[in-house]
Structure 1
Amino acid sequence: MRPAVRPVVRLLEQVWWWPALVTLAVGGYRLGTPDLWRDEIATATVATRSLGDLLRLLQHIDASNGVYYLLMHVWTAVFGESTVALRIPSVLAMAGAAAFVALTARRLFGGRVAAVGAGLLFAVVPLVSRYAQEARSYALVTCAVAAATFFLLRALERPAWRRWAPYSAAMALAGAGHLISFSTVAGQVALVALHLWRTRAAADRRLLWRYPLAVAVAAVPVLPVVLLGSRQSDRQLGWITTPSLRRLAEFGQHLFGSDLVFFAFVLLALPALALPGRRLQAWQVLLLAELPVLAVWLVSRLGGTAYFIDRYLLFTVPAWAVLAGGGVGAVYAAVAARARRGTTPRRAVTAAGLLAGALLAVPAVAALPAQPPVRYVGSHNDSEEPFKAAARTIAADYRAGDGLAAPLGDQSWAMVWPGVGYYLPSDIRPYPVFVARSADDAEDLSPEPCPKPEDCLGPVSRIWLLVLGDTADPLGAMPTDQAQVLRTRYGAPDRVTPLGGFTLALLDPAT
């Protein structure tokens, strides 16, 4: 073999390579097709601000996403702010998560079948595809938690300080990326406890203080995010309802984006939990997957703020993939061992391999109906935030001196101003009507509304008016004081265009 070829061959032989490549391909397919929705618009508008403006904004809102925004600030400075550019970091992070899933399964269950199978199973989960194509922190956090699990297992095997350091770094990144991800410690505690019980004859009692210390070290850089985020939680999380017991029971189906895929994973996990060999390791992984979900559900029930939604707990999917991969590996080993008794080793391995491939195909086939719905134009916002459609309509009939009035104040959560502004051509910038201060000056995500609308019409001739919802009376959907000013000056709208989630109207005094 040529020396130049050997590194490539060694790379292709690694258990993490193919899962990472498949996840990259699945996540990258039609990456730029879905329009950005309001959370992704927030990423675009914050990441592209100056560093000073970005830091000032985090003191008022979205501090929990501050680390992600800072990373994206650097990324967009190099690669731009197109839809594809904004989403590429998430695709790469999900591919990284698949790699760590495979490495974790190899460490827990042994064998290439369990390892590669776990990584490939992770790649086919519909919600993994969905958030691999989202310009938010969820993919990064999923990768960080998957990495932390792998590094934790390495540290448990040989608890040297140099092995705890990458674990703490991964946990710090996960916690800073999204605070809820620190709930994975609930599952990790169970994993460490079962490890100590399994190895009690030769257990290293230093784990009893080294693991908590490693968690504490990881928590230190997260504390500023906790302090700032706690002050902003009512504004950012008030819309999440208190979860019921039924919602907990059905959570797996939402977490995977498909009930069929979730049940397929559960069935594949059963052999790992039941068959002898690595049964205890399988229960460790099950607790790692389930205890964070239960912990967040309990906190959401008993605390004043709810956090129980699928994307916040996406980081538990890698543990499910490891467990399902372990089940496939257990079946493969059992069938191969049984087949060797009555046939040649090569035929036994072939038969077991075919069965393992068939098992892996079940969730892949089950996921097929759920994959297209996460890749059409409005899939990220259920077609309720047609920023691009509104921008296209305005640009098609724009005149110099036009103004734009869009939801502000209590409706600023809809991100209409920055959303439409993102999709408008750079040379088309309507005058901001009813705006007292720009979003940058207000140190917020959206502009600050003018307290006296009559003073903030500006030097405009025509006004493009955007309101939430589809309505034949857009002025009736506006705040009363703003609507009165527009009726007095412009009368009824000249054109009314429902866009499916927004209504766009043109107010032209000449007509």
Structure 2
Amino acid sequence: MWRDESVTYQVAHRPLGQLLALLGHIDAVHGLYYLLMHAVFALWDGGLVALRLPSVLATALAAAGVGALGTRLAGPRTGVLAGVLFALFPATQQYAQEGRSYALVTAGVVWATYLFLRGRWVGYGMVLAVACWVHEFAALVLCAHAVTLRLLGVPWRRWAVAAAGVLMSVAPLAVVSARQADRQLGWLGRPSAAMWLAFLAVSALGLLLSRVLADRTVTALALPLLIVPPGLLITASLLKPWYVDRYVLYALAGLALLGGLALDRLPAHLGRIAACVLAVVLLPASLSVRTPESRKDDVVAVADTVRKLSRPGDGVLFLPSRRREWLLSYPTVYARLDDLALARSPAASHTLEGTELPSATIRSHLLAASRVIALTDPEGQPLDPFPQESVKRRTLREHFQECERVRVWGAQVVVYVREPGPGSAEGCRD
């Protein structure tokens, strides 16, 4: 479990009233997903399995949808190959095993695209509206569908009515989440060179396949789906940083359709060779996304380390405060510690990590403690400049002795003991 999954787990376990109160302050964009997970845990509180099961099922549904699209566009063989190829993509596998909303959004967009292809406009609008409420960036697929209609020269009036209905239905969520955007996405920077290179490389691959295949119908649907949503989001992020590739994970369905058709066009013996080569090429990445190192951190390892190093009544300090999310999913570990900086709990403050005390109070609490477990980011990460964070670091540096430092993936757990006075035998040995 990594930090985003930990947030899902914590929020979904809150009483319904507290969950709704949180959404009024932050994370409204994930509100419908949190409500779904709240219902899942109410039916079966199955820990990590329950947390991730909806994503597994949604990915299976999305792969089936890609297969259905390929079948309708170019025949059942293309459909099977496209669906299997979609399931083999490492990014698909990563979010299939993650307790977040992106696999569900992908399934919704893929099946909405299938209904779009069949001209089932009422169903199209309803399915896409739900997908947008699970994550509003699903609405970017409307631009891809508009390009498809333009390329095919198909009448667009009924689609426009359905699209307008989708936008109207998601407008309240867009208004609320726009007010929360600075808090929600403040951690994002503008797209890096690596992000641009990845987007351009995948887009170039799609363009190459479309030129080689020369199938107007498949290309008109798959290529805009692959390029338009991520292209719009990454370009807009030059002005307002909003781009993360998982927000438009559903774009991979376009690449799978093009790849499935390419495999279908090959002679049987070449197709088998290409499938084997592809499996070998993708295998290292597929194995990699099944390791803790594929995520930013490992909340399970953090909690296990704190359990081993701490004693009941030890003080605990989170540097920065948002790292409180590391322990909140492990209430038995968190409950045995004294949170020295906490003013109001996450549930009571309707926030994700709680609110903290003034700097002077944090300092006095620290000076009254004899032993502190500090949870920090890995070395080399930027330090928050806020007064509470500065006073935590300064007080530990001036009045405490570091006794033990354990590095786990994406985090450090450090044991501090008050520096012994003159003639005292206290210190790290105790």
1:327 aligns with 2:234: no
Cα distance in 2 for residues equivalent to 1:449 and 1:183: 38
Deviation at 1:79, TM superposition (A): 2.6
**Aligned match of 1:119:** 83
Deviations 1:440-474 (A, max 9, x none): 11111102110121454598653212222249xx9
**Aligned match of 1:168:** 125
| 8 Å contact from structure 2 (residues 309, 415) kept in 1 | no
| 8 Å contact from structure 1 (residues 401, 431) kept in 2 | yes
1:394 aligns with 2:394: no
Cα distance in 2 for residues equivalent to 1:282 and 1:386: 40
Deviation at 1:481, TM superposition (A): 2.6
Cα distance in 2 for residues equivalent to 1:266 and 1:371: 25
| 8 Å contact from structure 1 (residues 395, 424) kept in 2 | no
User: Which AA in structure 2 matches 1:479?
Assistant: E
SS at match of 1:104: helix
Deviations 1:202-252 (A, max 9, x none): xxxxx5332111112222331221011111112222333334788545315
SS at match of 1:406: strand
**Aligned match of 1:298:** 235
| 8 Å contact from structure 1 (residues 470, 498) kept in 2 | no
**Aligned match of 1:433:** 340
User: Which AA in structure 2 matches 1:367?
Assistant: L
Q: State TM-score, norm by structure 2.
A: 0.86
Cα distance in 2 for residues equivalent to 1:70 and 1:222: 17
Cα distance in 1 for residues equivalent to 2:194 and 2:334: 51
| 8 Å contact from structure 1 (residues 151, 167) kept in 2 | yes
CA RMSD of aligned residues (A): 3.0
**Aligned match of 1:177:** 134
Cα distance in 1 for residues equivalent to 2:97 and 2:409: 23
1:70 aligns with 2:27: no
Deviation at 1:37, TM superposition (A): 1.6
What is the aligned residue count? 414
Deviation at 1:38, TM superposition (A): 1.5
1:444 aligns with 2:392: no
| 8 Å contact from structure 2 (residues 303, 333) kept in 1 | no
| 8 Å contact from structure 1 (residues 132, 139) kept in 2 | yes
Cα distance in 2 for residues equivalent to 1:84 and 1:254: 32
User: Which AA in structure 2 matches 1:169?
Assistant: M
Task: Show structure 2 runs of 5+ residues with no match.
Answer: 419-425
Deviations 1:455-500 (A, max 9, x none): 54598653212222249xx9x9983433455577x63233333445
Cα distance in 2 for residues equivalent to 1:506 and 1:293: 44
User: Which AA in structure 1 matches 2:165?
Assistant: V
1:481 aligns with 2:396: no
1:238 aligns with 2:186: yes
Deviation at 1:314, TM superposition (A): 1.0
1:311-350 pair list within 5 angstroms:
311-329=246-264, 331=265
Cα distance in 2 for residues equivalent to 1:219 and 1:318: 22
| 8 Å contact from structure 2 (residues 374, 416) kept in 1 | yes
Cα distance in 1 for residues equivalent to 2:77 and 2:125: 29
Cα distance in 1 for residues equivalent to 2:158 and 2:99: 36
Cα distance in 2 for residues equivalent to 1:431 and 1:245: 43
Deviations 1:326-366 (A, max 9, x none): 2333x25xxxxxxxxxxxxxxxxxxx444433333343222
Deviation at 1:151, TM superposition (A): 0.6
Say if 1:248 and 1:224 are closer, same or farther in 2 by CA, change over 3 A: same
| 8 Å contact from structure 1 (residues 144, 170) kept in 2 | yes
1:507 aligns with 2:416: yes
Say if 1:95 and 1:150 are closer, same or farther in 2 by CA, change over 3 A: same
SS at match of 1:136: coil
| 8 Å contact from structure 2 (residues 132, 138) kept in 1 | yes
Deviation at 1:112, TM superposition (A): 1.7
Deviation at 1:424, TM superposition (A): 6.0
**Aligned match of 1:369:** 284
| 8 Å contact from structure 2 (residues 58, 107) kept in 1 | yes
Q: 2:175 aligns with which of 227, 230, 250?
A: 227
Cα distance in 1 for residues equivalent to 2:157 and 2:38: 38
Deviation at 1:54, TM superposition (A): 0.9
Deviations 1:146-182 (A, max 9, x none): 0111010111xxxxxxx22221122112211222221
| 8 Å contact from structure 1 (residues 130, 374) kept in 2 | yes
SS at match of 2:153: helix
| 8 Å contact from structure 1 (residues 184, 292) kept in 2 | yes
Between Structure 1 and Structure 2, whose CA radius of gyration is higher? 1
Say if 1:122 and 1:270 are closer, same or farther in 2 by CA, change over 3 A: farther
Say if 1:242 and 1:406 are closer, same or farther in 2 by CA, change over 3 A: closer
Deviation at 1:57, TM superposition (A): 0.8
Deviations 1:262-302 (A, max 9, x none): 95x76655543x2xxx434323321232222222233223x
| 8 Å contact from structure 2 (residues 25, 351) kept in 1 | yes
| 8 Å contact from structure 1 (residues 243, 297) kept in 2 | yes
User: Which AA in structure 2 matches 1:223?
Assistant: A
Cα distance in 2 for residues equivalent to 1:177 and 1:314: 13
Q: State TM-score, norm by structure 1.
A: 0.73
Deviation at 1:83, TM superposition (A): 2.2
| 8 Å contact from structure 2 (residues 223, 254) kept in 1 | yes
User: Which AA in structure 1 matches 2:114?
Assistant: F
| 8 Å contact from structure 1 (residues 434, 449) kept in 2 | yes
Cα distance in 2 for residues equivalent to 1:370 and 1:354: 26
Deviation at 1:108, TM superposition (A): 1.1
| 8 Å contact from structure 2 (residues 328, 334) kept in 1 | no
